[in-house]
Structure 1
Amino acid sequence: MTAVPGRRSSTFTRLVRHGFTDPGAAHRLLDLPVMAAVHSDPVLLDALGAVADPDLALGGLVRLVEAQPEDGRRVLLDTLLAAKPLRDRLLGVLGASEALGDHLARHPGDWRTLVTWEAADLHPGVEEFEHDLAEADDPVSLRVAYRRSLLGIAARDVCGTIDVKETAAELADLATATLRAALAIARTAAPEDAAQCRLAVIALGKCGGHELNYVSDVDVVFVAEPAGGAEENTAIRAATRLASHLMRICSETTVEGTIWPVDANLRPEGRNGPLVRTLSSHLAYYQRWAKTWEFQALLKARPVAGDPALGEEYIEAVSPLVWQAAERENFVPDVQKMRRRVIDNIPAAEVERELKLGPGGLRDVEFAVQLLQLVHGRSDPGLRSGSTLDALQALAAGGYVGRADAGQLDDAYRFLRAMEHRIQLYRLRRTHLVPEDPADLRRLGRSLGLRMDPVFELNREWRRHASVVRRLHEKLFYRPLLDAAAQLAPGETRLSTQAARQRLEALGYADPAAALRHLEALASGVSRKAAIQRTLLPVLLGWFADSADPDAGLLGFRKVSDALGKTPWYLRLLRDEGAAAENLARVLSAGRLAPDLLLRAPEAVAILGDPGGLKPRSREHLEPEVLAAVGRQASAETAVAVARGVRRRELFRTAAADLIGSYGTEESPAEADTGALADRVGDAVTDLNAATIAGALRAAVRERWGDELPTRFAVIGMGRFGGHELGYGSDADVLFVHEPREGVGEQEAGRAAHAVVSEMRRLLQLPTADPPLLIDADLRPEGKSGPLVRTLASYEAYYRRWSLGWESQALLRAEPMAGDRELGERFIALVDPLRYPQDGVSEDAVREIRRLKARMESERLPRGADPTLHTKLGRGGLSDVEWTVQLFQLRHAWAEPGLRTTRTRRALSAAHTAGLIAAEDAQILDEAWVLASRVRNGVMLVRGRAGDTFPSDGRELAALGRYLGYGPGHVGDMLDDYRRITRRARAVMETLFYDA
């Protein structure tokens, strides 16, 4: 029969109005003979229009009808039209789950399980599910029965008969019944094994917490004891066979698909440990070897199958260990590190779509709630629930979390879990990725009741809830600490002082009482300042806790706030410029140097909020500023104090940029190029020290001679100063050169030059709280015995007649740094033939250099110092690398222009480019040099004073580790890596330097 065009158009319009996206295909399905009885029934169309995906539901219904026996089709359709509960349940499932539609097509009689429920059956538990699975006596029939029960849960879910929490609980109960049925099948297959052991199955994770997904690994551990007089080893082997068989029954794929994987990898020793242990073996492991995350995993443990008495014994034995976990060293950092590791392992292309593991996802809520449970559950048994939502409610009731905050998080968690359930329900596949296809997003949105514009509404609600969750650490862990310290209005929820101290202690604060006092001082009162602090501090506390020394961070913040709290721009900067607050937290908790510099000039906080503020300023910018400031002062002392102020500010800028670049922030991860970080510090400190010396020179000249010294004068940088490789605690090695001006006698010029050197040194050595800038002239001709300053002609005469090999080597780093630029360049032209000798240095000179190096190694290393950990003179340290590179310069720079540089890394690269050093050897030396330089810088940042060895104090060592990129608990890895890298460098050095 030919369809009338107008009628066809009207049908299409009606189908589109009911939510069909392919009305042509829907019309063809409704026109099939098997659907003749309901072809145009408005009841059916209205019901289809109410489901998540009408097209999917209609296709599934047609398949189900076609699968019925001839006489069953009419029964199904008549019942469907007559019974609204069945219509809603069946079509709701078919419109949300392609996989359950497939199941119904394979088992067409299973639709009858959805016909009716008694009121008492609306929320079945484990016993009801066990009854439904009772007849399953093999893996295939168990899968069929499992899917049939799953069909009922899905129907209650999509119809709203149960909420997301009840759905997850029913899924966990069905999993419990399935594990019991699978164990029964395994026991029937091996009765002799069953007779030899008592086996208990303990569920962890979501199954243990009664919050399972539609498709999820079921995490378990197995515990067994001998039975029937069997020996322990025999019983364990029997239990292992039963446990393995149980896992295969649930995990293997058959013609009916799979149920879900049973995952035992959370057991002691993970995959490397035995599948089954006795109770005493479990306890021995947890008491001696377990890591923090293993106790976190046990928080949701409950017995689900096997011997119930043994299961309860297991729970009673391990529970005290779980609730003592928060007392372990590095507890909170361990938990936070585990969370970061989860995020880091998400493929970059999936982070934004990860509903479970991504930032603002389900795992954020679960981790935060578990963290609070483990901290406060020690003294409050009411918090010891395996369910995330129950635990969150208990935390709010106990005052550990604000009720409004808990309510918001409850809403967010329920919405995200509902999204996760509906995503998995579609094809019954284990996934947590939000789909990208618009059709999938439309079905997902409609399944959650979003009908106006499902895709837009879904994305809006998802992002809104994820944004709430992303603030969970502030909302759940840190803000109540302020409530404990601040003066709250009567009736407001607050932590007890004891609970607040427990939380601070768990966060790593060594003096929680002092921390509470700081919080009270900062956040109490009704002033605008206190209100802004209450907004800032929860986030800052989290950043402080993420450092090696939270106490120092909080104390430093209080001191800066006390100094600047009345300054209008300070708190506004921290509140409105997100990077400024985090940068400040990182800097204040990273060691002593940067906070000390900041507290001497708190206004430098502004640097942290300027997008370009952390970029070090070059000497071309610094020197004119310093000279202009010096010129405005009335005395040399005040002039140098001003120059030191500029140095202090720039040293803080450099240190802050170094720390933030090393640690990274939430928005910007740490830079991977440690060589670039080391070079940046070397350049910056060199430039600001050169500018400071130029300022001291100008001040010394002006004090006595006005604008012009009777002799031209230049400061030549030597050593690491000339190499642009200064660290925070380095001295500035220098030579002083002068040349009498026209008409000035040599004696008068010499007296003036000596006077200005003495005055410069005096001015720079005036007592100050700033890091000292010491100028060291010991590399001059004749060393300490020679005159402090010489004329250019005197240098020429000395180098021509008396120069030693070590002086040629020292001059490799010579570069003009201050004073008369033209004189400085003439000095460099004078020494170039000496440091880059034609045809290279003689073999006698090479032997002397090697002899000096060996003598230095044996005589200058401090007594008691570990030669494997001394950054300057130790094995594979700075001296080894620099002397090796300098030997190549002395031998080959005359022929290789690239070697004519004062910088170690550039010379090393040039030697490789020229084919003098193999690529691997050059890389090994470069890595060791960069690492040793960063260790020295890190020691100064952490301790506030220079040092060439690793700190002995535990907190200082941990802070150094953080600076070098090693997280909490990895200090040993840092030391091992340093020894390994420098050992390789020493081997290369011995080959290249000693021709070993």
Structure 2
Amino acid sequence: MPPAGHLARFGFTDDARSSALAGPEGLRLWDPETRRPTDDDAATLLDTLYFAADPDLALFQLHRLVEAAGQEVRDAVLTDRSLRRRLIGVLGVSATLGDLLVANPAEWKELQGEQNHRPAGYATRDASTVPLLRSAYRRELLRIVAADLTGAADVDVTMRRLTELADATLSAALAIAAVEHPTSAGVCTLSVVAMGKCGGRELNYVSDVDVVFVAEPLGGAEGADGVDVEVAMRAGSTLAARLMEICGFVAWPVDAALRPEGSRGALVRTVASHLAYYRKWAKTWEFQALLKARPAAGDLELGARWLQELQPLIWSAAERPEAVDEVRAMRRRIVEQIPRTEVDREIKRGPGGLRDIEFAVQLLQLVHGRADETLRTPTTIEGLRALIEGGYVGLADGEALLRAYRFLRTVEHRLQLQRLRRTHTVPDDPAALRWLAHALGYRPNAARDAVESFRADWVRHAQEVRRLHAKLLYRPLLEAVARVPSEQLRLTATAAKARLELLGFADPAGALRHIEALTGGVSRTAAIQRQLLPVLLSEFADAPEPDRGLLAYRQVSDTLGNTPWYLRLLRDEGPVALRLARLLALSRYVTELLVHDPEALRLLADDAELVPRTAAQLATQFAAAAARHDDPETAINAVRASRRRELFRIACADLLGFLDVSAVGVALSAVIDATLTATLGVTAVPAVDRGLHFTVIGMGRLGGEETSYPSDADVLFVYEPPPGMADDAASGLALTVAEDLRRLLARPAPDPPLGVDADLRPEGRQGPLVRSLYAYQQYYARWSKVWEAQALLRARHVAGSVPLGERFLELADTMRFPDGGLTRDQIHEIRRIKARVDSERLPRGADPATHTKLGRGGLADVEWTVQLLQLLHGRTVPALRTTRTLSALAAATEAALIEPADATAMQSAWEQASRVRNLLTLVRGRATDQLPRQGPDLAAVARILGGVEPQEFLDEYLRVARRARQAVERIFDAH
């Protein structure tokens, strides 16, 4: 016996089997005295044994085969390189096949010579008895395995050849059954329709073969030769049952459980009976199963007719309201049925396994195959390729799935070959894992052993499959596409124009031109647009002006159509396409922002991206944008671009229902704060360098953090000169800072300008733009009016020197929360000004019932009432000392300064008016305070607010505003 140490380099680990290499009773491959192979041919054979999945097993089986078949086998293996690789490959991977060869010693010759000169299943076609068929099947299988293991056939070819062998075996079994039962064969014709993996031409080595049997009486469905249909079905059942019995003995079980009603249903049915069942009773999963149906044996014409009749039913199944969810639920149930101890090792049913790929492909086929016949293939690989070519799956994603599918199929094949047993579970035993890794071609290297290399690839593929399965199977666009009727998915000119008219497009011809421009040609871009547009048109049609949405989409697509990520994002990434359609159809404001900043579209892919940034985050972001540029104008352009992106984020979150109106006000105010801070960081540098202190106080809606989309930044500019600087010089420096800030933010640019309004300063527009803190003190002490105290209720530091801002607010507190509240004259003055605002400031022609700002029950009504209570009681009720309207209203209610019912009415009206005012800006793309009583703008606002009828919404608006106005009048009358 040769020492094991010298043989380890050939992969042998079993000392007990090494005697087969030497001695007169062995293979005479090893010279025990020299401890070397006996000759060059022996050395070559030993090298081949090293690459077997299990060298010890291969050696053992080869020794047994030589003992059974004689030295001819040894001589042939030593001299015939092709035979050597095939035979050693088979013997080293499968104990069962080795045993079969030993039991049938002449069959090793099947592995000699050219292996691809005949199709798989050739030998089984003429097998006239069951034993002959079994022997022929085994020989064909041996050839397929050998080609697979030596790389002569890849996994695609191997699956196809196994399917061809199955088809031939089914045909031969049916022929044998017909000979055994001539009476049955004489009254019916039977078609064997392959399903599952066999139907998809992707059969394993060991698998049930799923079939459906279709029969008709000879002479036609009506029994033209006098054959009763019921008699014919009994005959067909006899033939089908015998076919199943034969195949079970020869090769594998035949499973007919996918037939109508499953195992409880009739084994054989006519075409008409099948159609009746599928039309009335079939579930979505049954149509999913029919995707793989393929006539395989028997009367192929009958099978083709059966399948043709079912096509309209298969390709309309996805239109069922529950279809997409049912397919998803079926996949979840499959995973739940796997034992917990095996779920992570299951390469077929487990997460990241073959079923994940198959379900994703099949659902995409069901949904998109209604209009695209190139997707109608039973084969997973062909289906996935068609989905890639049609633009339904991204190229990188599709290629990753193809690689994973082939890898997992190869693993499955190797697992089944060892014992020719049906299994899909990767072993956890170290020895079995090592065998599997070797069978797959992995070998140890300097970095890691074979098992580690296999595991790394397996984990990588499984993770990729899990990710892409979730991405494809749970793509929101799928459900939207499924809701579009099949005939509407085909965007032919005539059909599209008719549909556009039906959907309510005012200019169908113009809309059709947009569609043709987007979908024309054979590029992947056009292909993806053809997928998207039927769904998007439905979304546009839900808006008051469908034409506007389509035009906006055309504008965005013209800007981004050739950008690689654009259409991929719409097709693949969550709800982007549907969100974009809604936004473009409803909001000119969002459309304008997006046209000038197309990259912002990426924000729609992730809910987390639609959460407004905090004030601190914005300050850092905007400051960094400015710091990247030396030129002031360029720096502020970068700040304004950042502001535009944030406005898009907030507007989208608002329209999609992620934010309430208060959150919108806070978010918009934070954007203005950050914009002013970053701009001040540019314009104030020379002044700050000379020691000047400069601060910006927010007033009005900015101060109250209740900013709306069109709001200007109401501010006061405050400075304090450094010691030793003349006030004129300090004032000049501060004025330059303020004027530069206003100029840079108001310059014409692609992004919305930010008006900086300082009209609430002392003396209004007639007074100086900037004042020192001392000048403010002097003015407020000597000349201020009650309305200025009222304006200071919203004063808040927003930018610049924090200490100076705090000192100004201390001064403001003495004005806005005076000792003793208000005098009778001051109350009278507030009421007089309010009455004047009501009568004079409402724009000519405005409707006082629906003007959101100055109308009855509008913003001004609520805010003036709350501010009156703050001025009266702010000194004694600390909770009233807030810049926010609703916070002050809540404090007044808590302090019993206002009846709860009145507070509720005013809060509802304020929130309503604020929300409607924002939405009107978003819809129209420009500021307006007037809610129209009819028309598309009213309809759009109603749609955004929950899809109620416009008149119903208007009635509710008027009711809420009327109750608030009554509450306002009661409170003012009481004071």
| TM-score between the two structures when normalised by the length of structure 1 | 0.54
Distance 2:246 2:278 in 1: 29
Closer/same/farther in 2, CA of residues 216 and 553 from structure 1, 3 Å limit = farther
**Alpha carbons 2:85, 2:150 under 8 Å: kept:** yes
Contact 1:544–1:554 (CA<8 Å) still a contact in 2?
no
Letter in 1 for 2:282: A
Map 1:492-641; keep pairs closer than 5 Å: 493-496=524-527, 499-501=530-532, 504=535, 525=559, 536-541=569-574, 594=658, 600=664, 603=667
Match of 1:465 in 2: 461
Aligned residue identity for 1:499: R
Q: 1:187: which partner in 2?
A: 178
Of residues 101, 106, 111, the one that matches 1:109 is: 106
2:74 paired with 1:77 = yes
Q: State the partner residue of 1:203.
A: 194
**Superposed CA offset, 1:828-847 (max 9, x none):** xxxxxxxxxxxxxxxxxxxx
- Asked if 2 retains the 8 angstrom alpha-carbon contact of 1:486 and 1:525, the reply is no
In the TM superposition, what whole-angstrom CA distance separates every residue of 1:95-131 from its partner, at most 9, and x where no partner exists? 122221232233333222222336523xx14444424
Instruction: Tell me the CA shift for residue 58 of structure 1.
Output: 1.8
1 CA distance for matches of 2:215 and 2:292?
Answer: 20
**1:156 Cα shift?**
0.9
Paired residues for 1:141-540 under 5 Å:
142-227=133-218, 229-251=226-248, 259-398=251-390, 400-401=392-393, 403=395, 405-451=397-443, 452=445, 453-469=449-465, 470-471=467-468, 493-496=524-527, 499-501=530-532, 504=535, 525=559, 536-540=569-573
The C-alpha deviation readout for 1:753-797, integer Å capped at 9, x for no partner, is 46565764454243323899xxxxxxxxxxxxxxxxxxxxxxxxx
Partners of 2:423 and 2:253 in 1: CA distance: 14
Q: CA deviation at 1:349?
A: 4.1
1:506 and 1:60 map into 2 onto residues whose CA distance is 67
Deviations 1:13-67 (A, max 9, x none): 44222223x152442443575424334431321110122221221232233334x
1:130 partner SS? coil
Give the letter aligned to residue 213 of structure 2: F
Give deviations 1:638-672, integer Å, cap 9, x for gaps. Answer: 98999xxxxxxxxxxxxxxxxxxxxxxxxxxxxxx
- 1:305 aligns to what SS in structure 2? strand
3-state secondary structure, aligned to 2:164: helix
Q: Distance in 1 between matches of 2:596 and 2:540?
A: 28
Q: CA deviation at 1:366?
A: 2.8
Residue 876 (structure 2) pairs with residue 708 (structure 1) = yes
Please point out which of 11, 14, 18 is paired with 2:10.
18
User: Which residue identity is paired with 1:705?
Assistant: H
| Deviation at residue 350 of structure 1 after TM alignment | 3.5
Alpha carbons of structure 1 residues 763 and 309: separation in structure 2 relative to 1, 3 Å:
closer
Q: Which amino acid aligns with 2:87?
A: L
Match among 99, 109, 112 for residue 96 of structure 2: 99
One-letter amino acid of the structure 2 residue matched with residue 130 of structure 1: R
Partners of 2:901 and 2:11 lie apart in 1 by: 91
The residue type paired with residue 195 of structure 1 is: G
Aligned-partner Cα distance in 2 for 1:590–1:237 = 66
| Aligned positions of 1:897-912 closer than 5 A | none
Q: Using the aligned pairs only, state the percent identity.
A: 41
- Give the Cα separation in 1 of the matches to 2:539 and 2:288: 18
Give 1:153 shift.
0.7
- Superposed CA deviations along residues 732-757 of structure 1, whole A, max 9, x for unmatched, are 9999999xxxxxxxxxxxxxx46565
CA contact (8 A) 1:509 1:550 kept: no
Between the aligned partners of 1:590 and 1:341, the Cα distance in structure 2 is 37
SS at match of 2:237: helix
Matched to 2:57, the amino acid is L
Aligned partners of 1:96, 1:557: CA distance in 2, in Å? 65
CA distance, structure 1, for counterparts of residue 409 and residue 245 of structure 2: 28
**C-alpha distance in 1, partners of 2:180/2:389?**
49
CA 1:540–1:385 in structure 2 vs 1: closer, same or farther (change >3 Å)?
A: closer
Q: Quickly say closer, same or farther: Cα 1:635–1:496, change in 2 above 3 A.
A: farther
Q: 2:772 maps to what in 1?
A: none
List runs of 5+ in structure 2 lacking aligned partners: 31-36, 219-224, 482-514, 613-647, 671-702, 707-714, 716-787, 797-862, 881-888, 916-942, 949-975
What residue number does 1:37 align with?
28
Q: Could you say which residue in structure 1 is the equivalent of 2:125?
A: 130
* Offset at residue 264 of structure 1 (A): 1.6
C-alpha spacing 1:531/1:244, structure 2 compared with 1 (3 Å)? closer
Summarize the Cα distance change of 1:705–1:766 in structure 2 as closer, same or farther, 3 Å threshold. Answer: same
Worse-matched range after superposition: 307-316 or 33-42: 33-42
Amino acid of the residue matched to residue 43 of structure 2?
P
The structure whose Rg is larger is 2
**Pairwise CA distance, 1:223:** 0.9
Pair 520,51 (structure 1): closer, same or farther in 2 beyond 3 Å: farther
Aligned CA distance change for structure 1 residues 233 and 535 (closer, same or farther; 3 Å)? closer
Unaligned residue ranges in structure 1 (runs of 5+): 253-257, 607-626, 643-694, 714-731, 739-752, 773-939, 946-996
Distance 1:756 1:640 in 2: 24
CA distance in 2, matches of 1:213, 1:26: 32
| 2:81 is the counterpart of 1:89 | no
Whole-Å separation in 1 of the counterparts to 2:361 and 2:602: 32
**Contact residue 121 and residue 169 of structure 2 kept, 8 A:** no
Deviation digits for residues 176-221 of structure 1, max 9, x if unmatched?
1222233234334433333332221100122112111112221111
Paired AA for residue 910 in structure 2: P
Task: Evaluate the alpha carbon distance shift between residue 521 and residue 502 of structure 1 in structure 2; reply closer, same or farther with a 3 A threshold.
Answer: closer
2:327 and 2:175 map into 1 onto residues whose CA distance is: 37
2:63 is paired with a residue whose SS is helix
Deviation at 1:89? 0.8
Q: 1:124-155, CA deviations, whole angstroms, 9 ceiling, x for partnerless residues?
A: 14444424xx04425xx644442332111101
How far off is 1:281 after superposition? 0.7
**CA RMSD for the aligned pairs?**
5.4
Task: Rate the CA distance shift 1:415–1:697 in 2: closer, same or farther, 3 A.
Answer: farther
Q: Which amino acid aligns with 1:292?
A: T
The 3-state SS of whatever aligns with 1:352 is coil
AA of the residue aligned to 1:220: V
Q: Secondary structure at the match of 1:176?
A: helix
Q: CA deviation at 1:93?
A: 0.9
Deviation at 1:275, TM superposition (A): 1.8
Q: Deviations over 1:428-472 (max 9, x none)?
A: 222222333333333333333332342232223333334444336
Task: Measure, in 2, the Cα distance between the counterparts of 1:557 and 1:161.
Answer: 60
2:66 maps to which residue? 65
Structure-2 change in CA distance of 1:522 and 1:467 (3 Å): farther
Pick closer, same or farther for the CA change 1:77–1:475 going to 2, 3 Å: same
Shift of 1:83: 1.7
User: What CA distance in whole angstroms lies between the structure 2 residues aligned with 1:700 and 1:756?
Assistant: 15
Measure the CA separation in 2 of the matches of 1:344 and 1:552: 37
Stretch deviating more after TM superposition (304-313 or 395-404): 395-404
Shift of 1:495: 3.3
Q: Distance in 1 between matches of 2:410 and 2:587?
A: 42
